[in-house]
A and B are shown apart, each in its own frame.
Chain A
Amino acid sequence: MNSIVNGMVNGRPVPPSRVRGRVLAAVALLLLAGLTAWSAAGIGVTLEVFLNASRIGRLVEESFPPAWNFWPRLVKPLLETVQIAILGTLFGGIAALPLAVLAARTVSPSRPLYWLSRNVMNVLRTMPDLFWAMLFASAVGFGPFAGSLALTVFTVAVVSKLTSESAESIDLKLTEAVRASGGNWLETVWFSVLPQVLPQYVSYVLYAFELNVRASTVLGLVGAGGIGMVLNTQRTTFQYARVTMIVLFIFAVVLAIEQLSAAARRRLV
């Protein structure tokens, strides 16, 4: 005879019923399938498009082997892409720090300033980098400068948000010690807030740099200069073997920069 005590049968735990979990999984799958069908229909993707593989096959054929000997002409544009990213990261990183301090609730000197900086931060973050690129292109003309300005804004958005969160989680006891010595707000921030957030801040700036190298490539596609622009030219003139070479080149450099930056960040925090 089975004795059931506290959900135990003969002193052993009873496995929970799996019916509920299976029903939930089935519902989730159906939902996903429905969403896929709905989206595909919406943008006009049909099975036919997938079956039309001959074009894809031709594309692959033309793309390989990569145009290896094309690389010397890529060095300068790629450097320009990286330079756009460096400028955007530096300008943005510098501007992000004061904004982050003002937007950190526990550190901010006044409510109105806190509110204002928070909203500035949110607006900057909501707009995609392409929008800023277009905006600055209208202001200073298409080119690398507009690109680095767009990345500046993008960097401010990313770094200020992350840094202000770090600043909100610092130990405020140290802040009190500086105030007890007669320090004003700026001195208190300088000697108690910044030393505590500095490693994280630098790590966020490096992270933004990694994002910026990639974003800078994309901005090139819309005319901000650098390797993205070369990629676009070769693509529109159907030089697919060169396109492959460019993609490989970008891949190698972006990966290398990411690895270096990530290693530096690991040492920081």
Chain B
Amino acid sequence: MTAEGSPAGSPAIRFDGTSVVYPNGVKGLDAVDLEVPRGELVVVVGLSGAGKSTLLRAVNGLVRITGGDVVVDGRSVRASHGAGLRDLRASVGMIFQDYRLVRRLSVLQNVLVGRVARVPTWRQLAGLWPKEDVALALDSLDRVGLADRAYVKAGQLSGGQQQRVGIARALAQKPAVILADEPVASLDPVTSRQVMDDLQRINRDLGITTLVNLHFLDLAKEYAERIIGLSQGRVVFDGAGAGVTADDFAEIYGRHPTAEDVLEAQVAL
């Protein structure tokens, strides 16, 4: 499982003076310039409302970019429409805080949703998924350790398992990029680590460029090769994950970290 069609050399994602102004006038992103090289695992931190989700959603065009552009795998998001945009989205997997699985469908059917852009619609409606796609979906489930749950209803799994199904769905896309928007915010500390471990292993094994929004600072430091700090839609910090100090966080958050900003403090509760 390697990324489909990645022109070598260019960065996986390039934000080019990207701005997002929502229809109600709120600025989500303010002229962001950023390059994410292939295979990097970047963690985005920032207060609630800083623009983390907007940054991720600009990459697959779920929000309308109103200034500048985002270039994914050499393709302009802003210039992509219709079939072109769907094709671009197919090369970008997304993982959500609330998993977003079809609870009444089986785990396998949920993972196959990752193949919608690559399989003819009539085959999907008829339930006639090609053998290779089913094999790929099972493979993806295997990567998150859930192959034995393939035929269970998604709604019957625990939160952590559902999130790993979400990861498998993204993997089934054979993506060049994975976006994870607060993937562990609904999970307990132990499960959070398991899910982050999965994301890290996939990033390392398959070389998929990964952008993760995280709230907890210690988790960010532990898993990030590189940390990007956002505040009011602007990049206010960009540095190696390991070297981040409390002062750096104070810079990003506009205050010093408290117990609420670290995962381990919750274990103590």
Residues of chain A touching chain B, judged by Cβ–Cβ distance below 8 Å, are: 173-174, 176-184, 186-187, 190-192, 195, 198
Query: B124: which of A174, A187, A198 is its contact (CB, 8 Å)?
Result: A187
CB within 8 Å for A195 and B116 given contacts A177-B96, A179-B89, A180-B60: no
In the assembled complex, the CB of B119 is this many whole angstroms from the nearest CB of chain A, namely 9
Please indicate the chain A residues that have their CB under 8 angstroms from the CB of B185 in the complex.
none
Contact string, B121-134, partner A, CB cutoff 8 A, digits 1/0?
10011000000000
In the assembled complex, the CB of B70 is this many whole angstroms from the nearest CB of chain A, namely 15
Beta-carbon contact of B62 and A176 below 8 Å: yes
Number of B residues near A (Cβ < 8 Å) is 27
Beta-carbon contact of B116 and A178 below 8 Å: yes
Beta-carbon contact of B116 and A187 below 8 Å: yes
Which 3 interchain pairs have the tightest Cβ spacing?
A182-B117, A182-B90, A177-B100
A183 to B110, CA, bound (A): 13
B114 CB-CB contact with A under 8 Å? yes
In the assembled complex, the CB of B89 is this many whole angstroms from the nearest CB of chain A, namely 4
Beta-carbon contact of B102 and A180 below 8 Å: no
Return the chain B residue nearest A174 by Cβ.
B100
Q: 8 Å CB contacts to A: which residues of B73-112?
A: 86-90, 92-94, 96, 98, 100-102, 104-105
Residues of chain B touching chain A, judged by Cβ–Cβ distance below 8 Å, are: 60, 62, 86-90, 92-94, 96, 98, 100-102, 104-105, 113-114, 116-118, 121, 124-125, 169, 173
Beta-carbon contact of B90 and A181 below 8 Å: yes
Of the listed residues B87, B94, B118, the one surrounded by the most CB atoms of chain A closer than 10 A to its CB is B94
In the assembled complex, the CB of A174 is this many whole angstroms from the nearest CB of chain B, namely 5
Beta-carbon contact of B114 and A176 below 8 Å: no
Please indicate the chain B residues that have their CB under 8 angstroms from the CB of A177 in the complex.
94, 96, 100-101, 113
A123 to B88, CA, bound (A): 42
Q: List 22 A-B contacts (CB under 8 A).
A: A176-B62, A177-B96, A178-B116, A180-B62, A180-B89, A180-B94, A181-B93, A181-B113, A181-B116, A181-B173, A182-B86, A182-B87, A182-B89, A183-B117, A184-B86, A186-B121, A186-B125, A187-B116, A187-B124, A190-B125, A191-B113, A191-B124
Beta-carbon contact of A174 and B102 below 8 Å: yes
A183 to B118, CA, bound (A): 9
Return the chain A residue nearest B91 by Cβ.
A182
A173 to B173, CA, bound (A): 19
A184 to B117, CA, bound (A): 8
Beta-carbon contact of A181 and B169 below 8 Å: yes
CB within 8 Å for A191 and B100 given contacts A180-B89, A181-B90, A186-B121: no
